Amino acid sequence: MILAIETSCDDTCAAVVEPDGRRALSNVVHTQTEHARYGGVVPEVASRAHLERMDGVIAKALADAGIGLDSVTGVAVTVRPGLIGALLVGVSAAKGLAYARRLPLIPVDHLEGHVAAAYLAEPDLVPPFVALIASGGHTALYSVDADGMRLLGETLDDAAGEALDKGARMLGLGFPGGPEISKAAEHGDPTRHEFPVGLKNRDTLDFSFSGLKTSLLYKLKALDERQAREELPHLAAAYERAVVEALSRKLLRAAESREARTVVVAGGVAANGLLRRTLKVECVRRGLRLVVPPPELCTDNAAMIGAAAPLSDAVPFPGYLSLNARSV
Ligand code: KG4
Ligand code: ZN
């Protein structure tokens, strides 16, 4: 069994995954609540909270899977990209466990982890496919084949999740912004306000979300307090729709240009209901297979890191003691 650890941002995660990376026996996520009052993740606070929770989260992952450490044959851990202090807590824990048991350590790239969540969702999935990763820190399109992932396009400014988080903050909603905007948008009319969709008609697979954010700022400036309250559901609905349109448009364009038959969507924003519904309709129309992991595998978790482990190079005992984490 693979014991997987993920601490790249504000979730302290551990999971037990079968060696082929296609089935999780447990998946424990402790989402840090310390950041809510700041409206965003505070790196130093995240590192310290990981340190406090790490041992308990690992113990729970083993207990939930019904195994002991003696059944673990390798320790997988996110080594990049992410908050450096946060990553180091997970990497140190993984090194300690692996070294004590003379096990190999498997360094995993967080973004490859997000894509690998699709293998847990649909174990028969095999490359090639086109993948969209949309999270709080990243928004990128990849062409995935047997040799690995190749970048096709990425955001030139904010990530999609970041745009939702910042938009939510401007609208006076909570953090994380994605689910909050969806909730506020429930009874809103998405056609009442118009927001720009960045790089919409340009012949590029890159994204841009900064214009959207600025547009919301100016719209809010033009409204008094009462109007802003009344318009909240409509603004949220239109804002959410603009983000979803940008993501689905570029993903479908990438699938077309790569002549892909399968598309995968991953990362925290893939938990978004409107994005899931929109892509479902569009993919049926185009005869594409759509793989979107369930929401709990889309947001940060360690099962996806275990799922990526068979695709990453294991470092044998004890060569990994000098291994470092990287923020990018
Ligand atoms: O992948 P993730 O959990 O962490 C990062 O690696 O960033 O993604 C977090 C992002 C946040 O920006 C959050 O607002 C967004 O994913 N998110 C959502 C939803 N759930 C989380 N965005 C839209 N709809 C959701 N249901
Ligand atoms: Zn992530």
Note the ligand closest to the C-alpha atom of 293: 1
CA of 20 to the centre of ligand 1 (A): 27
pLDDT in tens, 200-253: 888 899 999 999 999 999 999 999 999 999 999 999 999 999 999 999 999 999
Q: Is 271 exposed, middle or buried (0-12, 13-18, 19+ CB in 10 A)?
A: buried
pLDDT at 171: 96
- Taking only the tens place, the pLDDT of each residue in 85-101 is 999 999 999 999 999 99
pLDDT at 44: 97
For the segment 121-147, the average pLDDT, to the nearest whole number, is: 96
Quote the ligand 1 centre to 113 CA distance (angstroms).
15
> HSE of 103 in the Cβ direction (CA atoms, 13 Å)?
23
Task: Give the pLDDT band of residue 309 (cuts 50, 70, 90).
Answer: very high
The closest-lying atom of ligand 1 relative to the alpha carbon of residue 273 is: 26
pLDDT one-digit tens code per residue, 69-81:
999 999 999 999 9
Of the listed ligands, the closest to the CA of 299 is 1
pLDDT band at 175 (very low <50, low <70, confident <90, very high): confident
| Cα–Cα distance measured from residue 256 to residue 275, given in angstroms and rounded to the nearest whole number | 19
- Residue 165: predicted pLDDT: 94
Nearest partner of 219 among 245, 198, 193, judged by Cα: 193
Rounded to 5 degrees, φ, ψ at 148 are: 135, -155
* C-beta of 137 in contact with ligand 1 (< 6 A): yes
Q: Whose CA is nearest to atom 24 of ligand 1?
A: 272
pLDDT for position 40: 81
Question: Given this model, what pLDDT does residue 37 score?
Answer: 84
pLDDT reading at 110 higher than 80:
yes
Residue 202: predicted pLDDT: 83
What residues flank ion ligand 2 with Cβ within 5 A? 135, 300
Residue pLDDT, tens place only, 2-47: 999 999 999 999 999 999 999 999 999 999 999 988 878 999 999 9
The token pair that represents 130 in the structure block = 């086109």
Q: Does 113 sit in the ligand 1 pocket, CB within 6 Å?
A: no
Nearest CA to ligand 1 atom 7: 136
Average pLDDT (110-119) is 97
Q: What are the tens digits of pLDDT across the range 53-71?
A: 999 999 999 999 999 999 9
Give the contacts of 159 (CB within 8 A, at least 6 positions apart): 134, 135, 136, 137, 138, 139, 209
